[in-house]
Structure 1
Amino acid sequence: MFRKLLIPLFLALSCTVTAARAELGAPAGRVLLTVSGEIATTNGGALAAFDRDMLMALDWREIETFTSFTEGPQVFAGPTLQSVLEAVEADGGTLTVTALNDYAVSFPLAMAAEHSVLLAMDHGGRPMRIREKGPIWIVFPLTEAEAATAPFDNQMVWQLAKMHVSP
């Protein structure tokens, strides 16, 4: 009797887990970003791969900010880093981000929410190209005075291609 009850429960739980993983879906377009490591939701082996449409479906925001790399106020749009981490169910303490040229830097995962970090994909209303620091640039919302002190310049990786979540 006990066994008869466990089997349907196990099947129901298995279907729920499968459905949660399926929610991410597979990229239909060119993959712009992969996330690996301590993540629960994937769409290709141990990775979560995102195309532009998938990233646009997350918590997309437009911000006006300053950077030490640009002149004057700049308008960027893209998903929040936090929404990407939530989409893959990241469970770690450190995020390592890697650019197309293999430049990599690590920082605490908590910075994503603490600073409302944006994965900028549009700049000035246009999708960013590789020569313009795209297709993805990690941008921190800053005032002009904050940008002058360059507090997050090391973490503001442009041409972002990969993220890895570790304990």
Structure 2
Amino acid sequence: MFFTTVFRPIAVAATLVFTLATTSLPALAEPILTVKSTGSDRSIALERADLDQLPREVVRTRTIWTEGLVEFEGVSLATLVAELGLTAEELSFVALNDYAVTIPLSDAVEGGPIIADRMNGEPMSVRDKGPLWVIYPFDSNPDYQAEKYYARSIWQLHRIEAAL
């Protein structure tokens, strides 16, 4: 009697906790990129799935931070700017560690930089300079092989600040 009144509820609770802990629950999607207005409290939170819905581009290039030819995939800066209606002459890109760079809107051109979220076909982790990395097509346009473009190639990107 003592066992069924005291230990049985504990055993049932332990089984329930174990079952919940080992059951795969769908993960809640988290924003991968936030675009924040500099002139108001307005912001747009984009999940990975949102970026996947936009036209994708591939840039195969060498960088000063990687070895050999690397394939980057993501959304072109031009597409992102057009989709979000960004009109500021300069955009502030902010990394997870609060490092920030300014990229002029004039860089948002066809054949220009992409906001890469995959490297060699794999989603980029924070350890691998992800979740997002601004990549210029260094090999296909020698003009991009300049310090100002290297400095704009911010990794661990998570926020853009601009007039919305």
Asked if TM exceeds 0.5, the reply is: yes
Deviations 1:1-32 (A, max 9, x none): xxxxxxxxxxxxxxxxxxxxxxxxxxx72100
Aligned match of 1:158: 155
Check the 8 A contact 1:93/1:166 in 2, yes or no.
no
CA–CA separation in structure 2 for the residues paired with 1:85 and 1:161: 16
Check the 8 A contact 1:66/1:72 in 2, yes or no.
yes
1:78-93 correspondence runs (5 A): 78-93=74-89
Alignment counterpart, residue 62 of structure 1, candidates 58, 62, 66: 58
- Taking structure 2 as the reference length, the TM-score comes to 0.74
Check the 8 A contact 2:78/2:110 in 1, yes or no.
no
Check the 8 A contact 1:38/1:90 in 2, yes or no.
no
State which structure, 1 or 2, has the greater radius of gyration over its C-alpha atoms.
2
Aligned match of 1:10: none
Q: Which runs of 5+ in 2 are unaligned?
A: 1-27
Alignment counterpart, residue 96 of structure 1, candidates 89, 92, 95: 92
Aligned match of 2:133: 137
- For structure 1, which segment, 66-75 or 29-38, has the greater mean C-alpha deviation from structure 2 after superposition? 29-38
Q: CA deviation at 1:33?
A: 0.3
Distance 1:166 1:94, change over 3 A: farther
CA–CA separation in structure 2 for the residues paired with 1:114 and 1:62: 12
CA–CA separation in structure 2 for the residues paired with 1:77 and 1:63: 6
Distance 1:106 1:149, change over 3 A: closer
CA–CA separation in structure 1 for the residues paired with 2:67 and 2:148: 17
Q: Which runs of 5+ in 1 are unaligned?
A: 1-27, 40-44
CA–CA separation in structure 2 for the residues paired with 1:134 and 1:85: 20
Amino acid across the alignment from 1:61 = E
3-state SS of 2:86 partner: coil
Aligned match of 2:30: 30
Deviations 1:32-78 (A, max 9, x none): 00112279xxxxx6111100010011121112111111111110101
Aligned residues: 135
- Taking structure 1 as the reference length, the TM-score comes to 0.73
Check the 8 A contact 1:38/1:91 in 2, yes or no.
no
- For structure 1, which segment, 138-147 or 116-125, has the greater mean C-alpha deviation from structure 2 after superposition? 138-147
- Percent same amino acid among aligned pairs? 30
Q: CA deviation at 1:85?
A: 1.3
Q: CA deviation at 1:148?
A: 6.1
